[in-house]
A and B are shown apart, each in its own frame.
Chain A
Amino acid sequence: MDQFLQQVVNGLSLGSIYALIALGYTMVYGIIKLINFAHGDIYMLGAYIGFAVVTIGGLGFFPALIIAMVLCAVIGIVTERIAYKPLRNSPRITLLITAIGVSFFMEYIMVYFVGANVRAFPDVLPKTQYRLGSIVINLQQIVIILTTIALMVLLQFIVHKTKIGKAMRAVSADRDAAELMGVKVDRTISATFAIGSALAGAGGVLVGIFYNSINPLMGMMPGLKAFVAAVFGGIGIIPGAMIGGVSIGVIETMVSGYGSSMYKDAVVFAILILVLIFKPSGLLGKNTREKV
């Protein structure tokens, strides 16, 4: 039982990071129906920006988090403008292939500039450990989980209470109808990329803290798993990405803890296959039909 609870705690912190990345996938998919395969690389850039702020700038965790989020938001907007916006009326497969191209571009431009070697993320938080009975929770895990919860609450507030959030929901539901309300679609898409990328940037900094190591190709696997998480919860649905991310994190940790860590990736992708077979619209997905 204790080991189980310990794994839950570990899984929640890993799952928080997946959830942060999955949110960007799902929001971008919701609004332009693009699986943005470069999204995992935004997360990698977030980790490097956090690394630079801490090592070069000599600043602490919160400045690193904020700066990484802001710069990733800018990178997200610029990427959309340069790579995706010109393809607004192209077939979806064109967009998808472009996204894969953008992903490789970001990975190898980083290999070129910072080298392919793994770097150690400095300790920005003290290595304090707390004991709850026999469960050990360290400060890093608490910070990761609390940061994720705070960002999700903030996101819910933006999406439901602000004008830009309502515009985002309207555009993802029906682009033409939103335009007939006076919503500027391009600006709304930019805002979606900005928010999604900022969340991925935050995820990057958090994973730097969690695993202590970063490298230019680190975005690939978590990117794919966050994609699985988004599909698992129902792609395009924000609460689905949160639930999906946390579930995938916990499942992965459980497989490592009770089975073998060699199988953790296999299990995650097996889940993707099962979801696609039995509930292709995801946990929270629904099939909508027009009313007459």
Chain B
Amino acid sequence: MLEIKNLNLHYGVIHALKDISLTVNDGEIVTLIGANGAGKTSTLRTISGLEKATSGEILLDGESIMHMPAPKRVSMGISQVPEGRRIFPDMSVFENLEMGAYLRNDKDGIKADMEMVFGRFPILGMRKKQLAGTLSGGEQQMLAMGRALMSRPKILLLDEPSMGLAPILVQEIFNIIKVINATGTTILLVEQNANMALSIADRGYVIETGSIVLSGTGQELAQSPEVRKAYLGG
């Protein structure tokens, strides 16, 4: 589905991503774990087209999307739930979801997907007229995920969905991620909460100061001494 080859990204003189290569196959949950500042968010931003890579290649279903502008990549089937949710606070829940379907024109399909989102996140259905900025953190995370699903993505990029949420909510969000994946959406999940991420991931990559240092199945990584020491508290 998604293939990244030797991706490099510079912010001025800072070499933020160094020869990143990773693959996400159809139907998988793949996680990218690493410490703060390792380059996880930069990787997702580059895939979505918010950052321009210096070199490398990004393929979606074999087609290069390297030089496509961000909106075009959305229409190709890449959708992102950005770090910190980034919902539109002064728009209603309903309008936020409408924004998620911005590139679509099939009114009936949009309506059906809206019902699907309300089915998956009943709290959003109850609050659809409410301004998104007044929602709690967990509800905002659900809204951000619902919004991203409204574009009917082939692959969903999730950036730190557990950030700032109570443990019980983290569990709920991860359950929903599994359900979204089970209904046919491929997922690339970026997390600092390595434990949680590896528990639901088919495969994972570990990123450190801009380079991929380790990869394997979720279980392999969870048991790897390096990962345990660095990210899972021994």
Interface stretch (choices A62-70, A130-138, A174-182, A209-217): A174-182
Partner of B151, one of A173, A179, A182, A292: A182
Given contacts A290-B84, A291-B133, contact A173 B91 (CB under 8 A): yes
Say if the beta carbon of A166 comes within 8 Å of chain B: yes
Partner of B71, one of A173, A179, A290: A179
Which B residues from 75 to 118 make CB contacts under 8 A with A? 75, 79-80, 82, 84, 86-91, 95, 98-100, 102-103
A-B pairs with beta carbons under 8 Å apart, 25 shown: A163-B102, A166-B91, A167-B102, A169-B90, A169-B91, A174-B88, A176-B50, A177-B86, A177-B88, A179-B49, A179-B50, A179-B70, A180-B79, A180-B80, A180-B86, A180-B148, A181-B147, A182-B103, A182-B151, A183-B71, A184-B69, A288-B133, A291-B140, A292-B137, A292-B164
- One digit per residue, 1 when the CB lies within 8 angstroms of any chain A CB and 0 when it does not, for chain B 135-166 equals 11100100000011001000000000000100
Give the nearest-CB partner of A290 in chain B. B84
B69 CB, nearest partner CB in chain A, Å = 8
Given contacts A177-B82, A180-B70, contact A166 B140 (CB under 8 A): no
Q: Is the CB–CB distance between A182 and B71 below 8 Å?
A: yes
Which A residues from 137 to 187 make CB contacts under 8 A with B? 163, 166-167, 169-170, 173-174, 176-184
Say if the beta carbon of B74 comes within 8 Å of chain A: yes
Residues from chain B with a CB closer than 8 A to the CB of A166 are 91, 95, 98-99, 102
A292 to B95, CA, bound (A): 21
Residues from chain B with a CB closer than 8 A to the CB of A292 are 137, 164
Give the nearest-CB partner of A177 in chain B. B86
Q: Is the CB–CB distance between A182 and B86 below 8 Å?
A: no
Q: Is the CB–CB distance between A183 and B102 below 8 Å?
A: yes
Give the nearest-CB partner of B165 in chain A. A292
Residues from chain B with a CB closer than 8 A to the CB of A182 are 70-71, 74-75, 102-103, 151
The 4 closest A-B pairs by CB, nearest first: A292-B164, A182-B74, A182-B103, A177-B86
- Residues on B facing A (Cβ under 8 Å): 48-50, 69-71, 74-75, 79-80, 82, 84, 86-91, 95, 98-100, 102-103, 133, 135-137, 140, 147-148, 151, 164
Give the nearest-CB partner of A187 in chain B. B71
Residues from chain A with a CB closer than 8 A to the CB of B80 are 180
A167 to B91, CA, bound (A): 11
Which A residues from 178 to 204 make CB contacts under 8 A with B? 178-184
Partner of B136, one of A176, A178, A290, A291: A291
Q: Is the CB–CB distance between B90 and A173 below 8 Å?
A: yes
4 more CB-based (< 8 A) A-B contacts, given A176-B86, A180-B48, A292-B164: A170-B91, A181-B103, A291-B133, A292-B137
Residues from chain A with a CB closer than 8 A to the CB of B137 are 291-292
Q: Is the CB–CB distance between B82 and A181 below 8 Å?
A: no
Q: How many A residues touch B, CB cutoff 8 Å? A: 20
A291 to B141, CA, bound (A): 11
A177 to B75, CA, bound (A): 15
Residues from chain A with a CB closer than 8 A to the CB of B148 are 180
A163 CB, nearest partner CB in chain B, Å = 7
Partner of A288, one of B74, B89, B136: B89
A291 to B136, CA, bound (A): 7
Q: Is the CB–CB distance between B74 and A174 below 8 Å?
A: no
A51 CB, nearest partner CB in chain B, Å = 39
- One digit per residue, 1 when the CB lies within 8 angstroms of any chain B CB and 0 when it does not, for chain A 269-292 equals 000000000000000000010111
Given contacts A180-B48, A182-B103, contact A169 B88 (CB under 8 A): yes
Interface centre among B99, B103, B140, B164 (most CB of A within 10 A): B99
Which A residues from 199 to 256 make CB contacts under 8 A with B? none
A291 to B89, CA, bound (A): 10
Residues from chain B with a CB closer than 8 A to the CB of A291 are 133, 135-137, 140
A170 to B49, CA, bound (A): 18
Which A residues from 257 to 275 make CB contacts under 8 A with B? none
B36 CB, nearest partner CB in chain A, Å = 16
Q: Is the CB–CB distance between A181 and B133 below 8 Å?
A: no
Q: Is the CB–CB distance between A173 and B88 below 8 Å?
A: yes
A177 to B102, CA, bound (A): 12
B9 CB, nearest partner CB in chain A, Å = 16
Residues from chain A with a CB closer than 8 A to the CB of B79 are 180
Residues from chain B with a CB closer than 8 A to the CB of A173 are 88-91
Given contacts A169-B90, A292-B164, contact A180 B140 (CB under 8 A): no
Residues from chain A with a CB closer than 8 A to the CB of B74 are 180-182
Residues from chain B with a CB closer than 8 A to the CB of A183 are 71, 99, 102
